[in-house]
Structure 1
Amino acid sequence: MIAYIKGILVNIHEDAVIVDVQGVGYEITCANPFAFQASLQNEVTISTYHYVREDTQVLYGFRNQDEKLLFTKLISVSGIGPKGALAILGSVDTKGFIEAIEREDDKYLTSFPGIGKKTARQIILDLKGKLTDITSIPAQTAADTQPEKESDGLQEALEALKSLGYTEREIKSIIPELQKEDSLHTDKIVRKALALLMKKQ
């Protein structure tokens, strides 16, 4: 198993990064490759999961160990493959997602592409109580918390940007900055996003 890759980040694609390790280029598939934009042409260490099946081998990369742990737990759930797990990681606040599992909020979980009610219930059944070590939220307390408004606002903002005609690649490139936005209001997040996208043109 390849636990991490350490080398020079030489290229960023829409769904992967290329890391040069002593002349060998490793293609690492990521939920949001543009999260590594600041490290382009510099040395990086990316936590990885080496996914091996009879007909395929893929190296998945993560910004930190929490993301990697959540990914490994998600792909252990029946009905969720690596692509589905990456889609979740690319648009979710890890803390908010775990809170949703702990409070059995299947409505929130079904808001992600490819997750129906049956899969959402399976996620809760398989993972409830097993992810709270990623955050500081005790399992019992998390069950009593209210839905994570910030992640809902961000998700709505991303959908609004898509409706305005922005591509997945453009949107993904600004997600790290939007996640720093402390506003709970979708319209404020959208305004921040539009300002960031204008700067990139």
Structure 2
Amino acid sequence: MIDFLRGKVVHFETEYVVLDVRDIGYRVFTPNPYAFARSEEPIMMYIHHHVREDAIQLFGFATREEQAMFRKLLDVSGIGPRVALGVLAGGKPEVVAAAIQSENLTFLTKLPGIGKKTAQRMVLDLKDKLGAVDDRWMAATSMQLTMEAAPVASEANAAWAGAKEALGGLGYREAELDKAWNAMKDNLTGSETTDVLMKKALQQLFQG
């Protein structure tokens, strides 16, 4: 089974990148293709090699932590590779782990593809299978139960400033970016990184 690949990104779409490894192009689905696409140098991607009766797919991650969390999510009843990928697109592994351990269903149900029943299964199936989580992440996710909308907006705005600047460098106009931001900002948790917001904005832009 493939554990990692090292190569150069030669093409990317909203869900995957094509990684050139010694003149062989591997299509690798990843939580945020745009994070890899900006690199002009060879990169390493940690791989989950997923085999089904009707397909063989590669899922790639920037860190071992993402790879490990992806595999744990696949152990949850009702969560397949695409949903697990969406979860990691919506939150860092340590944040997702902290939300599970603190049984923060409010946070979990804001992740892409996760409804209340699935969030409950995540807690039931994974709470005792995750390692120790830094107290700061536990505190951050616990605050989601009581925090006002303003702090969430503040954190999201800070990450969006970096995302907007990067997207502007790709040629998108400010009016287009503001429209995308207005369409997605009310559905944010406040934990999204700049890279995640770039992906969400690009999805909005592609939808028109």
Would you say same fold, with TM above 0.5?
A: yes
Task: Name the SS of the counterpart of 1:145 in structure 2.
Answer: helix
Inter-CA distance 117–26: structure 2 relative to 1 (3 Å threshold): same
* 1-structure distance, mates of 2:162, 2:35: 17
**1:49/1:61 contact within 8 Å kept:** yes
Q: Does 1:104 align with 2:103?
A: yes
Please state how far the C-alpha of 1:112 moved relative to its aligned partner.
Answer: 1.8
* 2-structure distance, mates of 1:149, 1:130: 23
- Matched with 1:147 is 141
Please state how far the C-alpha of 1:44 moved relative to its aligned partner.
Answer: 1.9
Deviates more, 1:24-33 or 1:124-133: 124-133
Tell me the alpha carbon deviations over residues 44-63 of structure 1, each in whole angstroms, 9 at most, x when there is no partner. Answer: 22110111011111111000
Tell me the alpha carbon deviations over residues 60-93 of structure 1, each in whole angstroms, 9 at most, x when there is no partner. Answer: 1000100000000001100111000111111212
Task: Name the SS of the counterpart of 1:132 in structure 2.
Answer: coil
* 1-structure distance, mates of 2:82, 2:58: 12
* 2-structure distance, mates of 1:65, 1:144: 21
- Matched with 2:15 is 15
**1:9/1:39 contact within 8 Å kept:** yes
* 1-structure distance, mates of 2:111, 2:69: 15
Q: AA paired with 2:53? A: E
- Matched with 1:2 is 2
The TM-score normalised by the length of structure 2 is: 0.69
Gaps of 5+ in 1: 158-183
* 2-structure distance, mates of 1:8, 1:64: 17
Q: Percent identity?
A: 34
Q: AA paired with 2:98? A: E
**1:88/1:112 contact within 8 Å kept:** yes
Please state how far the C-alpha of 1:146 moved relative to its aligned partner.
Answer: 4.8
Q: AA paired with 1:104? A: E
Q: AA paired with 2:22? A: Q
Inter-CA distance 14–146: structure 2 relative to 1 (3 Å threshold): closer
**1:104/1:143 contact within 8 Å kept:** no
Q: AA paired with 2:65? A: D
**1:46/1:63 contact within 8 Å kept:** yes
* 2-structure distance, mates of 1:32, 1:56: 22
Choose from 141, 162, 168 the match for 1:198: 168
How many residue pairs are counted as aligned between the two chains? Answer: 166
**2:12/2:18 contact within 8 Å kept:** yes
* 2-structure distance, mates of 1:30, 1:143: 23
- Matched with 2:65 is 66
Please state how far the C-alpha of 1:114 moved relative to its aligned partner.
Answer: 2.3
Inter-CA distance 148–35: structure 2 relative to 1 (3 Å threshold): farther
Please state how far the C-alpha of 1:187 moved relative to its aligned partner.
Answer: 3.9
* 1-structure distance, mates of 2:24, 2:165: 38
Gaps of 5+ in 2: 172-208
